Structure 1
């Protein structure tokens, strides 16, 4: 089974979800501490020295594009097709539902907080700011790859390299959203906390329902 039963899963959900709610409330009620910390952190990644480096700007723009919510849909479809062809039909379905569920909750919290984006943001970055949809989506895509795709790779060294690359992808994507003035730093941190909390729920649902789904004739030959 790709995802094992874990008695500590709900503890991780409580911690990540609790910190997310605290951050949400600080931002929702315009905490001066949160605002100040956001401004200080943003200045670290939006200085004129960084903006003058052409290749860095191009990299940040590229990362932001490939991790956009629309591209996340393409990535998860590719992952699902790959898994389905490898007889991992239930993991394929789980992958799509995990991303859709995460995007749904991200959208709900965006409309609860209704935080404005930084004033310098690009016209293409519309909508509310907290939590970052790009960061939430790429976190879930990386988690899906870690949980149900990388285990199919037999060589441990290759899996380790892929794991490291995925961690760096999340980190630099979060930086790119701040660098491009699309989000405040706490928007990306909140997105990762929300994604991790939702992932604990999605993993629990997989453990609970994957064996039951195997009773469906179309899915009875699926690897779980």
Structure 2
């Protein structure tokens, strides 16, 4: 159950939120230094396009499609509902849905155009923040909290954690490699996701009893009975 899992620390949440806001303001203001850093990183990442790497990054970015993230969240919520963790299931859907709304609003506020060079897979819409990265971070944390933490083997837990971290890095790298985003887009999405997850966890704790009384009547909405 989510309430039994370690949450994101307040320090990490505030730091992530602040970094995201600073990045968003810098992007909105077309800060020249940020653009120089972005283009410099892009030139390094896109220094060559070996066929195997391009194929791998294309597969990664397809798996991490924002629409698929919603599907993954629905599957996770379905499993939780079947396990009688109904508040957690509802929270999962609310977290991915609310997060997508926040990310969309940020895109509309900033309205950053996508990079105009070396786009292997043409993309439409605004660039900041990266929807792929945002969704990947949300899903990875859901998997960590609900499933990986339940593994009895600490070694297996560590292995799964490393694999999931590598996955997020691959998603972030793929978006820059394929020319769909600036590096600041993917980092902005990462920090926004961390901040949003911290807020969502806070809302979970505040609203658990209220929601539980409707979806878990036998538990009478009591934390202590879970």
TM-score for both structures, normalised by structure 1: 0.90
SS in 2 for 1:3: helix
Q: Is the 8 A contact 2:134 2:189 kept in 1?
A: yes
Q: Give the aligned partner of residue 44 of structure 2.
A: 44
CA shift for structure 1 position 2: 2.4
Deviates more, 1:82-91 or 1:133-142: 82-91
Give the distance between the partners of 1:200 and 1:194, measured in 2 at CA: 10
1:137 paired residue among 132, 135, 138: 135
Q: Is the 8 A contact 2:20 2:191 kept in 1?
A: yes
2:176 paired residue among 175, 178, 193: 178
CA shift for structure 1 position 148: 1.9
Q: Give the aligned partner of residue 166 of structure 2.
A: 168
CA shift for structure 1 position 122: 5.3
Q: Is the 8 A contact 2:95 2:197 kept in 1?
A: yes
1:109 paired residue among 96, 106, 109: 106
Q: Is the 8 A contact 2:113 2:127 kept in 1?
A: yes
Give the distance between the partners of 1:86 and 1:157, measured in 2 at CA: 25
After superposition, the C-alpha distances for 1:39-84 in whole angstroms (9 at most, x for unaligned) are 0111121112xx0x22211110001001011111111111111111
Deviates more, 1:117-126 or 1:103-112: 117-126
Give the distance between the partners of 2:204 and 2:11, measured in 1 at CA: 17
The number of aligned residues is 221
Gapped runs of 5+ residues in structure 1? none
CA shift for structure 1 position 95: 1.1
Give the distance between the partners of 2:4 and 2:160, measured in 1 at CA: 21
Runs of 4+ in 1 over 6 A off after TM superposition: 5-8
Gapped runs of 5+ residues in structure 2? none
Q: Is the 8 A contact 2:16 2:195 kept in 1?
A: yes
After superposition, the C-alpha distances for 1:125-152 in whole angstroms (9 at most, x for unaligned) are 1100000000001000001111122233
CA shift for structure 1 position 3: 3.0
